[in-house]
Structure 1
Amino acid sequence: MTLHRRDLLGLFGAGAAGVAAPAAARPVPSVVFNHGVASGDPRPDGVVIWTRVTPTDPTVRTVRVDWSVWRDGDTAASVASGTVEAGPDRDFTVKVPVSGLQPGVEYRYAFTAGETRSTHGRARTLPEGPTPEVVLAVASCQLYPGGLFNAWDAVSKLERVDAVIHLGDYIYEYGAEADDYGMASGARLGRTPQPAHEIVSLADYRARHAQYKTDPDLQAAHARAPFICVWDDHEVTNDAWTAGAENHTPASEGDYAVRKAAALKAYFEWMPIREPARGLTSEAIYRSFDFGDLASLLMVETRLLARGEQLRYQTDMPVVDGRPDIAAFEARRNDADRDLLGDSQRDWIRSTLDTSRASGKPWQVIGNQVVMARVQGPDITTMASPLQIASLLATLPAAVRDQVQQSIELFKLGVPFNLDSWDGYPAGRERLYAAFAEAGVQPIVLAGDSHAFWVDDLKDAAGARRGVEFGTSAISSPSPGDAVPRLPLGAALMQANEEVVFCDQSAKGFVLLTLTPDQARAELRTVSTIFAKPYEAGVLKAFTVALDANGLGPIVEV
C-alpha cells in the first residue's frame, strides 16, 4: 500500500493530517473532539501527537486545527505549535511529528479548532545519557465486546509510566452476531461492535478504530503516556500471514491484498505511529527506541512481512492407518523455510542489538507479538484421573466440551500448545536465537497475543539460554482458562514445560516493566473484573532478573 504524501511529512511538520494550513484567516467549522488525544513513537527531540476532529456538519471537507506543546507545569508558553488541515482523505485524523523538544522531559499537548479545544495529553521524550530508571506498561488484546477496558484505566492512574508498549490486537475485526467473538459478554454490556458486520473495507476499518477510541478508559491511557505500537493479526483479520489469513474468504470478502491495504491505511490514520520510512513498505514497521544509556527497545513485525502460513492440526497432521503421523508432522513444522521475520528484518535485529551492546546499554528489549518460548500442550491425563477429566468435561458447554476433548487427545501426542506462536516456526526461532548470540546479548522478550500471563526462560534447541520472556495477558479478550475454569491450565503448562516459569491463563491486565542499571522487574498487574465498575487493581506476581558477569541472572519471584 502507498500512503499519500509520505515524502512531504518532514517538510510540512504535520504527518497524517495533510498539508500546513495557509496563514490567511478563514472560518473554522464547528467540530467536536470525540476520540481523545494520543501520542506515540517518542524520540529524544520529539514525539508524534494525534487527535481526530469530527465536524458537526457532514458536508464539511476541511478543518483547520491548531496544535501546541508545552512543558509540564508551564502552561503560559508553548515550546512548539502549528496549524494543519484535516479532511476526509485521512478520515479527519490529525497526526503531527513534533520536533525540537528536549530529551527526558514531560510535555503537555492539545489541539484547537475554532473555539473548541481538545483535552490535553502528556508525553515524555526519550532520555539521553545517564538514565537511572525506565518504566514501561506492556499491553495487548483489547476486544471491545469482550469486556470493559478497566486495565486501561489502571494504566492511566500509574504514578510513573514513561511509555506504553502495545503488542497488537488493538482492534478486532469480528461482527455483532450473537455467536461472534466476544458477543456473549458484549450483548450484556451494551458493547456492540460498529459496524455490526465483520470489517473488510476502508470505511469499515475506520469506523471500528473510531469506536474503540470513544472508550473513556482507552482515551485516558493514551492521554497518560506515549504509545509505542505494533499490530498483530486482528488489525487486519485473524491469523494473518503474508498472503492470507484464517479469517479471510476471497469468494465473499474479495482480494486479501486489498483488504490488508485498507486495514493498514486506517491503522496509520488512527494510531500515533510514525509513517513508514522512505523506501520501506507499509508492513515494515519494525523500529527501535533508545532509553538513554539504559536500554534499547526493538519493536518487530511477525505477521505481514515474512510469516509463512500457519500449520493446523486438522489439516497438516497426516493420519496413517488411523493413527496420527507425528514424525511427518514434525518434519513439516521444522521445515527450514518456516519463518516469521525474514532475512532483512533479522539482519536489522542483529545489527541493532550489536550496536546497543557495543554502546554499553545493559538491557535490550524485544517487543514481539507472539509467545516465543517452547510450550508443549499439557497432557492432563497424567495429572488427573479419568473420572476427574470426565467430571470436568461434563461441566462444559457442548461446543467447548468437544474442543477440550480434542485438545486432550492431541496433547497426549507431545505437540505444541499453539501453532500460531513461534512454536509453529521453530527454524525461524533458531535463526533469531543465533542472531541474539552473534550480537552477544540475552534480551528481554515481550509477548502479547495469547490472552495469558507468561514468565519464560528462553532456550535454544541445544539448551543454551537465549533470553527471558514476559508475556502480557489481555486487556479484555477471552483467555483460554475462561473456557475451562475448573482446570488449572496455567499450572498444567508450567508442569509440562521446562521453559515456563509461571503462567496464568485467566487473569486480565498488563505487565509493568521497570528497568534499572542492574535489575529488571516485571509486575503482572491485574484487574479484578472486566464486567463491572468499580474494580480492584492488583499485582498477581512479580519477578526480577538481575545482571551478572555472565549476562542475565536467574528469574526470581519476589
Structure 2
Amino acid sequence: MSLHRRGLLGLLSAGAAGASLPAAARQAVDVQFLHGVASGDPRQDGLLIWTRVTPSDPSVRAVRVDWSVWRDGDATASVASGTVETGPERDFTVKVPVAGLQPGVDYRYAFSAGEVSSPQGRARTLPVGPTADAVLAVASCQLYPGGYFNAWEVVSKLDRLDAVIHLGDYIYEYGAEPDSYGMTTGARLNRTPQPPHEIVTLADYRQRHAQYKSDPDLQAAHARAPFICVWDDHEVANDTWSGGAENHQSETEGDFLVRKAAALKAYFEWMPIREPEGGLTEDAIYRSFDFGDLASLLMVETRLVARQEALSFATDMPVVGTGRNARPDVDAFRAKLNAPDRDLLGDAQRDWIRSTLTASREAGRPWQVIGNQVVMGRVQGPDITRMASPLEVTVLLARLPAAVRAEVRQSIELFKLGVPFNLDSWDGYPAGRERLYGAFADAGVQPIVLAGDSHAFWVNDLKDASGRRAAVEFATSAISSPSPGDHVQGVPLGAALNAANEEVLLCDQTAKGFVLLTLTPTEAKAELHTVSTIFDKRYDASVLKTYTVAKTADGNGPLVES
C-alpha cells in the first residue's frame, strides 16, 4: 500500500529526526520506486530502512529523498524523519539508520521523492527485558530463473513475524545461456537473468540485484519485516572461498579481488544491512542481535573471511594403481580432509562466537541461535546403487547436464566408500567444526544452528567427535533453487541420507519453502513451511513437519517431531 503524498508530507513536517528541505530547494526529478522498500538489522532503539529510486533521466546526478517512520496504527505523527541524497555513485539506493525508537515496537516507514511516494514497510525493533516469544522466518537460496518466489508471498502474509533471517544466495551469478543453472525452467517461465551473461563487474552485480528486487513476492516479504542477512557464495560466485571461487576464471574474468569488491559494493548498496563496524574489514559481517532476555542470534560469516578452498573429489582424490587396477585412495583423501588447519571461520571470529555465547548465557538468556550458511551436520553420501539398478543409474546420469555428469558419476562410486555428501559444507572442514563445537562447550551452551545453501530441509542432532551432543540444527530448503534430489527424480535421496546418517533426523530433498522458528522461554519450535509448486503462481502452502526442543536445566531436550 502506498502512502499518499499529502499524508507523507504531513508526517515529515511533524518529525524530529531531521527536517525536509524547502520545496524550492528540491530538484524536480521524475522518479519511480520500482524496487520496493526494506528494513534490516533491527536494534532495541533503531532500524535500518532502505529503498531505491529510479530516475526517468539516467543522466541525473542527485536525487533528494524524504523518509519518515511512525508507530504502526498511528499515522498521524512521525517519530523520525529526514532527507537524504542519493545518486549514481551508490546506484540511487537509499539506506537510513534510524535511531531513537522504542524497543519491541511495531513501526511503519515510507519514502518520497518529488510528488512520488514509495510503498510502506513494517518493522519491529528488538525487545528489551522480559520477552514472551520471538518469531523468525529462516530462508535462503532464491534462484530467479529457478521458479516463482511463492514462499516469499507466504512469508509476507504471516500474522506474526519479528524478523527474517536470510542465510545467503540472495542472488546468483549465472547467465542466461541455455545450459546455465536453472535456465530450463527460466526460459519456460520467462524468468531470464539480467544481464543475460555471468555477472562479473559492478554494473553487472547492480543490474542483477535490481532484477531480484523487482520480484513482487520478494518485495512483499521485505515490506513485511526486517531482514537479518548474511551472504553465501553466489552473491560473488559459486563456491567462493577467501582467495577465489570455483566459478571464477582469472584468465577470462580478471582479478578475483576486483570481482569480489564489485560484488560486495553492490551487496551493501542493495541490501538492508549495516556495514561492519569497529575496524572490521568489509567482509567481516558477523554480528549479533539480542531478543530481550529470551535469545541471542549470532550471524556468522563462513565464505570470505577465512574459508580455505573446498576439496574436490575430481582433483583431490589420489588414485593408486594403473589401468584396470586403478582405484581411489580414500585413506589418503581422508587424511587431507582431516588436516588440522582446515577452517571456515578463523580464530578471531571463533573467539567472538565463544565470548558472545558466554555473555548470552551469563545474561540468563535460554536460547542461543547461530545463523550459519552451510549444513553443519555430519552427512555421509548414500550408496545410490542400492536404491537403483544399473540401468536406472545410467538413465539418471543421461538426464543430467553434461557439465556435471562426470562429477555425479564419480560421486556415486565414491559414496560406496563412505565419503562426505558435500565437501563445500562443514563436512569439508571437520577440524574447524570440532574447534567450533569446542567454543560451544567453552561457552556452556548447546545452540540452535540454522543453515541454508543445500536447497533441502534438514533436522540434525549435532554431535562432536566424541559423541557428545553439541547443538541441534534446522536447515531450510530453498525458495526456488533446485536440489540434488530434484536432479535425481525417482531416487529417494532424502530418505537415503536420513537412513545412512545417525545425526540426520530428517532430510527432504524436494520441498521448497522456509523454516518458521518460534522461541519461548521453555521451547523452540521449527515449522518447515512448504509450497506445492514453484512453477506456477497457483499453489498451496502447508507445513511439512514440526520439530520442538524443550529447554531443560541441563541444556536442551531431545528433538521431538510434533
Q: Do these two structures clear the TM 0.5 threshold for a shared fold by scoring above it? A: yes
Asked if the contact 1:174–1:181 (Cα under 8 Å) also holds between the matched residues in 2, the reply is yes
1:218-367 superposed matches below 5 A: 218-321=218-321, 322-367=326-371
Shift in Å at residue 399 of structure 1? 3.7
Residues 279 and 319 of structure 1, relative CA distance in 2, 3 Å threshold: same
Matched residue type, 2:342 = R
Using the alignment, how far apart are the partners of 2:536 and 2:112 within structure 1?
34
1:431-510 superposed matches below 5 A: 431-510=435-514
Structure-2 residue corresponding to 1:5: none
Q: Deviations over 1:294-343 (max 9, x none)?
A: 00000000000000011000110100111111111111101111100000
Q: Deviations over 1:336-379 (max 9, x none)?
A: 11100000000000000000000000000000000001000012
Structure-2 residue corresponding to 1:376: 380
One of 515, 522, 525 as aligned partner of 2:519 = 515
Using the alignment, how far apart are the partners of 2:170 and 2:275 within structure 1?
18
1:6-45 superposed matches below 5 A: 25-45=25-45
Using the alignment, how far apart are the partners of 2:364 and 2:141 within structure 1?
34
SS at match of 1:218: helix
Asked if the contact 1:105–1:124 (Cα under 8 Å) also holds between the matched residues in 2, the reply is yes
Larger mean Cα displacement after TM superposition, 452-461 or 477-486? 477-486
How many residues end up aligned between the 2 structures? 537
Shift in Å at residue 78 of structure 1? 0.5
Matched, 1:418 2:422: yes
Matched residue type, 1:33 = F
Asked if the contact 1:20–1:85 (Cα under 8 Å) also holds between the matched residues in 2, the reply is no
Using the alignment, how far apart are the partners of 2:499 and 2:540 within structure 1?
30
Structure-1 residue corresponding to 2:11: none
Asked if the contact 2:370–2:450 (Cα under 8 Å) also holds between the matched residues in 1, the reply is yes
Using the alignment, how far apart are the partners of 1:245 and 1:105 within structure 2?
42
Using the alignment, how far apart are the partners of 1:504 and 1:389 within structure 2?
24
Asked if the contact 1:20–1:84 (Cα under 8 Å) also holds between the matched residues in 2, the reply is no
1:46-445 superposed matches below 5 A: 46-321=46-321, 322-381=326-385, 383-384=386-387, 388-394=389-395, 397-399=398-400, 403-445=407-449
Asked if the contact 1:453–1:473 (Cα under 8 Å) also holds between the matched residues in 2, the reply is yes
Shift in Å at residue 398 of structure 1? 4.6
- Percent identity (aligned): 75
Residues 159 and 328 of structure 1, relative CA distance in 2, 3 Å threshold: same
SS at match of 2:557: strand
Q: Deviations over 1:54-106 (max 9, x none)?
A: 11111211000000000000011100000000101110000000000000000
Using the alignment, how far apart are the partners of 1:553 and 1:118 within structure 2?
46
Using the alignment, how far apart are the partners of 1:50 and 1:252 within structure 2?
35
Matched, 1:536 2:549: no
SS at match of 1:397: helix
TM-score by length of 1: 0.94
Asked if the contact 2:361–2:443 (Cα under 8 Å) also holds between the matched residues in 1, the reply is yes
Using the alignment, how far apart are the partners of 2:543 and 2:185 within structure 1?
25
Asked if the contact 1:21–1:64 (Cα under 8 Å) also holds between the matched residues in 2, the reply is no
Using the alignment, how far apart are the partners of 2:63 and 2:530 within structure 1?
41
Using the alignment, how far apart are the partners of 1:398 and 1:467 within structure 2?
38
Using the alignment, how far apart are the partners of 1:399 and 1:74 within structure 2?
55
Using the alignment, how far apart are the partners of 1:399 and 1:547 within structure 2?
45
Shift in Å at residue 26 of structure 1? 3.0
Q: Structure 2 regions of 5+ residues with no counterpart?
A: 1-17
Asked if the contact 1:39–1:272 (Cα under 8 Å) also holds between the matched residues in 2, the reply is yes
Q: Deviations over 1:469-492 (max 9, x none)?
A: 000000000111111111110110
Structure-2 residue corresponding to 1:15: none
Using the alignment, how far apart are the partners of 2:261 and 2:396 within structure 1?
44
Matched residue type, 2:298 = L
Using the alignment, how far apart are the partners of 2:473 and 2:390 within structure 1?
31
Q: Deviations over 1:17-36 (max 9, x none)?
A: xx998667233301000000
Using the alignment, how far apart are the partners of 1:129 and 1:174 within structure 2?
45
SS at match of 1:209: helix
Shift in Å at residue 432 of structure 1? 0.3
